[in-house]
Homo-oligomer: A and B are copies of this chain.
Amino acid sequence: MSTLHPDYTDDIFNLSIPVLAVDIVLFTLYKDQLCVVLVPGRNEWAHGKLTLPGGIIGRGETLEEAADRILERDTNISHIYKEQLYTFSAHNRDDRWDVISCSYYTLVWAREFLSRIDLTKVALLPYDLVSKETVAYDHADIIQYAYQRLKWKMEYTNVVQRILPERFTLRSLQDIYETVFGQEFDKRNFRKKILSLQLIEETNEYDTENSKRPARLYKFSDKELSIVGIL
């Protein structure tokens, strides 16, 4: 233990302190399904259920650094865009241990990351199957909360640019929204809305990979994250 900060000596002498962990909710789009990347629980209290990638934060580490370190250790994915979700501290979150968890969440496109994930060590669980029966501790609650936040963020900001490749078709953008929200959107209205926001601009390139009529590729015009109503 290092030297005490004078502002807090009163507290330190009266109280022992809890442990701070980081847990990451990593959503991914896989085969038109919204999935969560989970790891097998490493102890008997997890009862063989899955858990979020997580670990204890170290001294001198920021939360983001700890999240990066843990994500790399558990999933081999490094330095991706993520956002802080909430810090959970309810009593009995975890039966045996007084741990406070600062959670992060993000969404990645499976195609890019599947190659780096070792599927013998992590599971891609469809969001619809997340429940207290499949996921340990309060992690199902955390995942549900992360899903609400993800939807909000995608509806009202341009975060989606963080998960798309440089060039993309309007259809692939719409697919992401439809998968995340679990509903279909009118193609014309969706395109009209997206284009009117001036977040993206057309290029003169076309997607020739799929057969059928080639789709025009677009790119984001502005890399700043901002609040805009998308849906």
Q: Which residues of A contact B (CB under 8 A)?
A: 1-3, 5-8, 10-12, 14-21, 41-46, 51, 54-64, 84, 86-87, 89-91, 94, 96-100, 102
A186 to chain B, nearest CB (A): 22
Q: How far is the CB of A174 from chain B (nearest CB, A)?
A: 24
**Contacts A17-B58, A60-B98, A62-B91 supplied; 18 other A-B pairs, CB < 8 Å:** A5-B96, A5-B99, A6-B43, A7-B55, A8-B19, A8-B55, A8-B56, A8-B99, A14-B58, A15-B57, A17-B19, A17-B59, A18-B59, A57-B89, A59-B98, A62-B89, A62-B90, A84-B86
In Å, the complex CA distance between A202 and B7 comes to: 48
Oligomer copy total: 2
Minimum CB distance partner of A20 in chain B: B20
A5 cross-chain contacts in B, Cβ below 8 A: 19, 43, 94, 96-97, 99
Shortest distance from the beta carbon of A49 to any chain B beta carbon, whole Å: 12
| Nearest chain B residue, comparing its CB with the CB of A43 | B6
Give me 10 A-to-B residue pairs in the complex whose CB atoms sit less than 8 angstroms apart, sorted by A's number.
A3-B96, A5-B43, A5-B94, A5-B96, A7-B41, A7-B46, A11-B58, A16-B58, A18-B57, A57-B89
